Amino acid sequence: MSTKAPFFDKKLIVSAIIVVFASALVVVVIKNAESIHLPYIVAVLAAIVLGFIEPRKGWFLALLQCILILTGYFLFTESPENTAQQELENFSLYGSLILTFVASFLGGFIKRALNTQ
C-alpha cells in the first residue's frame, strides 16, 4: 500500500512564491507595454516554466497566477485615462490569463514527454 503525497508540499510552496514574482512581472509589463506582444510573451514564458516545474500541479499554479495578475492589476494599478491605452491593457490582461492556462499545460506536457525518454 503506497501513501499518497500531500498536495501542498514544499516544492509547491516554493513554486507559489515564484508565481507571485512572475505575476507581478506580468502586471508591470501589461502597464508599460506599447503592444500586446510583450505581455503575452512574458505570461507564456512564466507559465511554461511553472508547468515544467510542476507538471502535475501546474493547473493550480496557473490558477494562482491568474488570480494574482487580476488582483495586482485591479488593486495596485490605476486605470489609464486614454481609451486606447485602456483597451490595450484590457486585451493584454485577459489574453495573458488565457495564455497562462494553455502555456502551463504545455510546460507540463513537455516535462512529462522529456521524462519518458
pLDDT tens for each residue of the chain, 117 residues long: 567 878 888 999 999 999 999 999 999 999 999 999 999 999 999 999 999 999 888 889 999 999 999 999 999 999 999 999 999 999 999 999 999 999 999 999 999 899 886
Q: Can you tell me the distance from the alpha carbon of 69 to that of 30, in angstroms, rounded to the nearest whole number?
A: 10
As a whole number of Å, the CA-based R_g of the chain is 16
Number of compact structural domains in the chain: 1
Q: Which domain holds residue 41?
A: 32-115
Angle, CA 77 vertex, CA 74 and CA 78 arms, to 5°: 100
> Taking the model in full, what pTM does it have?
0.90
Specify if 108 maps to a domain.
yes
Specify if 18 maps to a domain.
no
Specify if 75 maps to a domain.
yes
